[in-house]
Structure 1
Amino acid sequence: MKKFFYSKKIAPYVFICPFVITVLLFWIVPVCNGVLLSFQDVLKNKWVGFDNYSRLLTDKIFRKALWNSFKYMAGTLILLIPFPMLFATMLNSRWIKKTEFFKSVYFIPALTSVVVAGTIFRLMFGESATSLFNQVLGFLGVSPVKWLKGAGTSFFALLLLACWRWTGVNILYFLAGLQSIPGDLYEAASIDGASGWQQFIKISVPLVKPTTVYVLTISIYAGLSMFLESNMLFKGNNSPNNIGLTIVGYLYRQGVEKRALGYACAVGLILLLVVMAVNLIQLKVTGTFEEGRD
């Protein structure tokens, strides 16, 4: 038995067995089961074929939820990639002292429970004149706003919550990537007369590309799978006119609240395909596939 496990041919397969078993049990099997359920009416125990998918094509609420998720994802990509990269560059410069303190402070929001954060932000964006943001508007001479009842203002609240929670995490990702770049490159660029901005564009951005692709990939997934933040901000899964309904929220509504498990599985599979398609497109656009082949 000892020779078996220490064999150079067998050992690699032994090491990857836990990962393979985990993927099979918690990903492949559930996905396959979900595919089968998406062709059924589970409550009636009836095979309905493509009826659940054809229903999705005419479901206006599903389209709105999908659009809300895409809009949220795009907003987080615009805010949570360039700005954390700039902040990480500032922390990585020799002009900033006590960087360990700043890294700890930036990471604290990520340790906060989504339930707690969502509740606090719901109070901050309350309708009353005494809520935080309405007090700010009152100081500026503006009437109170019903933040969570308007599409634009509620979207702003969701993005602000996302930025508060995840900016620090992305800063640490980019900071780790920047610190792997040899300092000699910056010194040589300085000797050649390159400005700080030129060094950032010509050295930092290209060499931190693997980190950028990773952050972009997880941000796409996080944006399209967002649910709990919206659920806590609107105090439930039923926001006014579905302005805060996401695709995962719609899946929860169909599968848990209405117990339409077959239809919910169809929604989940569409979400899986959308996430995979968007990530494959961004990997193609960023040239990651070509680099992998090289």
Structure 2
Amino acid sequence: MTGFGAGAASSDGTSVAVEVRSVNNRFLKIQTRLPDGFSEIEPKIEAVVRDRLNRGAVTVSVRVETAGRASRLTLAADVLDGYRADAEAYAVKAGLAAPTDLSAYLRLPGVVREEAAAPGDPAADAKLALHATKDALNALNDFRAREGEAMAEELRSQIATLRNHLGAVEERAPGLAEEFRSKLHGRVSALLAQAGAEVSPADLTREVIVYADKADVTEEIVRLRTHLDAFEAALAGDDGVDSPGRTLDFLTQEINREINTVGSKANDADLAGAVVGMKGAVEKLREILQNLE
């Protein structure tokens, strides 16, 4: 699930700000961006993240500001030498005297660099960073919880759509055999009338029975309803699973499997329309579940 959270902690003039961003990912992938001197706490930060999150590509950015610790300016000699060489080469080409005043060079980009102040107490700063990380993760989870509720509502809407289409299938399916019998009787009777013969009721009944057996979707309807009930239970947390994402993924696959079977069995325009509607709802379920933990 996507999300953002920020946290901060300060003590004795040192302030640590942490931002945690999460984007969709099937597994948990953690990337940390730490200032110099904080590499030792990277495993601890990752442990805190793993304790709070299960899925997502997560980026943790830590920024430290310390009052009273002056930053240090350094001269990038290589950059300065490059500027001077270019200036002297141009001066020779233009027939001018090479510039000798270094103050002009010092104002050029990259010549003077500012180095971050070194941490005063690494242990204390690390403690602040972990505290701020936990606060940021709490804010991230609050963000994801709000987003998750919105997604859950959309999932319930798609399940309701599936139930409506399934009800249409259940209502339509029993009449398929009788319609097939009537159409078959009409076609065969018309053909046999040309030869002066009549269709045998026994033969007609046998064909209708074969068709009815092939087109029977009663089991698929029952299984679909069972899967939809299980989906709603997992979504509501009634199945005891804290992170239902994988369960819902599996149930969506099973729902799609049964819908495909109904579509292949029932050779009927109305049922085909209902199947198309159910397939559309399943695709929307899949899109939403990519973002659900």
TM-score by length of 2: 0.19
Q: Which has the higher contact order (CA 8 A, sep 6+)?
A: 1
Larger radius of gyration: 2
Q: Normalized per residue, which structure has more strand?
A: 2
Q: Would you tell me which structure has more helix in proportion to its own residues?
A: 1
TM-score (norm 1): 0.19
